[in-house]
């Protein structure tokens, strides 16, 4: 029996472990929380991050890195973006060149402004050709419930993406391959920031037309930045671009949209984030997104407004008025499709 190791026992990591088990793999889940292996062994459920979804007790949750990855054919990293680097570093020396490495974490690292692919390359440069990155419209609860889901798997070597596709593809979760790592990663990261803006708009009662406008102009922001960074603009029309954007900006399960709604109720970003068990990645990503935009000389007014509201306490309604009173633009200004 082939073995898959899932690194990170949050809601999405747990749901992916459940999917891997349903395909017949021997599954181990590494978790930071010391008491979680005992809870799962007793209840067959991750009551901390994914309550209400039971799974086979043969899916073992462990705290020891070596125990988690020893003998694995595929190692799947799914910690929060802020913890990917220090989590991955725990596994240096335990990973061999024979193992495939798949990262499903979405985000951009604070300070370095690195995509998660760049963080993984930085930690495991010798394993670059074995790496792939998973993104696309997927709520953990939908995956855990066995609802139909489509995802994009990007790799530096397309043959690696195809190998992972063969392992994880099913009639429930369809995996599509892609060789545009930057595009897949960036789409899966920036959409979280835009979902905060949509949550604000919805809670302020601006209507569905405003939400659609935010999503569409947000997609233009992603595309401007992505093409400047070398991504294929077509990627942003796919699962990890417009697909993930639609889900995160409209779905009631979206932590980022919820954060935006609570901001519109008058709460501060710090208050909201500190009260959450799971991370709203849009809050974490807003700052490095704005820094990348400055680095590449890209206009990203919606993302910038979210950053200023979350980190500088900018007034919501004044931020909206500023966006609406920007000078006239050509719809595709600044998007390089060459």
Per DSSP, the three-state class of 132 is strand
Interstrand relation of 26-30 and 100-103 (parallel, antiparallel or unpaired)? unpaired
Which residues partner with 45 through β-bridges?
Answer: 54
Q: Say if residue 230 is exposed, middle or buried (CB neighbours under 10 Å; 0-12, 13-18, 19+).
A: exposed
CA distances from 146 to 28, 150, 170 (A): 20, 12, 11
Q: Phi then psi for 134, rounded to 5 degrees? A: -110, 130
Q: What tokens appear for 187 in the block? A: 């789409």
Q: Say if residue 38 is exposed, middle or buried (CB neighbours under 10 Å; 0-12, 13-18, 19+).
A: exposed
Q: What tokens appear for 309 in the block? A: 């509201």
Q: What tokens appear for 81 in the block? A: 């973006």
How many Å apart are CA 108 and CA 201, to the nearest integer? Answer: 24
Known active-site residue 191: yes
User: Which is the catalytic residue, given 21, 163, 191, 262?
Assistant: 191
Catalytic center residues: 191
């Amino acid at each position: 029996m082939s073995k898959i190791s899932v690194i990170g026992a949050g809601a999405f990591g747990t749901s992916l472990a459940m999917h891997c088990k349903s395909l017949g793999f021997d599954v181990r889940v590494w978790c930071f929380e010391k008491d979680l292996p005992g809870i799962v062994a007793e209840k067959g459920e991750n009551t901390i991050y994914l309550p209400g979804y039971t799974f086979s007790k043969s899916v073992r949750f462990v705290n020891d890195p070596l125990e988690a990855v020893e003998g694995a054919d595929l190692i799947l990293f799914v910690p929060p973006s802020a913890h990917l680097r220090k989590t991955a570093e725990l596994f240096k020396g335990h990973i061999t060149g024979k193992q495939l490495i798949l990262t499903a974490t979405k985000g951009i690292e604070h300070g370095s402004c690195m995509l998660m692919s760049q963080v993984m390359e930085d930690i495991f440069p010798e394993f670059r050709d074995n790496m792939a990155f998973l993104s696309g419209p997927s709520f953990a609860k939908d995956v855990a419930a066995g609802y139909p889901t489509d995802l994009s798997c990007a790799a530096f070597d397309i043959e690696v993406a195809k190998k992972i596709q063969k392992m994880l593809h099913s009639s429930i979760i369809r995996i599509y391959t892609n060789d545009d790592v930057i595009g897949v990663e960036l789409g899966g990261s920036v959409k979280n920031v835009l979902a905060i803006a949509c949550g604000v708009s919805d809670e302020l009662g601006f209507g569905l037309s405003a939400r659609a406008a935010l999503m569409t102009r947000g997609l233009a922001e992603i595309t401007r930045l992505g093409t400047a960074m070398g991504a294929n603009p077509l990627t942003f029309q796919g699962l990890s671009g417009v697909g993930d954007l639609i889900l995160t900006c409209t779905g009631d399960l979206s932590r980022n949209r919820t954060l935006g709604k609570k901001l519109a109720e008058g709460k501060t970003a710090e208050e909201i984030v500190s009260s959450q068990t799971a991370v709203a990645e849009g809050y974490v990503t807003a700052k490095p997104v704005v820094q990348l935009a400055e680095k590449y000389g890209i206009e990203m007014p919606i993302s910038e407004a979210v950053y200023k509201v979350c980190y500088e306490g900018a007034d919501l309604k004044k931020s909206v008025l500023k966006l609406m009173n920007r000078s006239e633009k050509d719809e595709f200004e600044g998007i390089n499709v060459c």
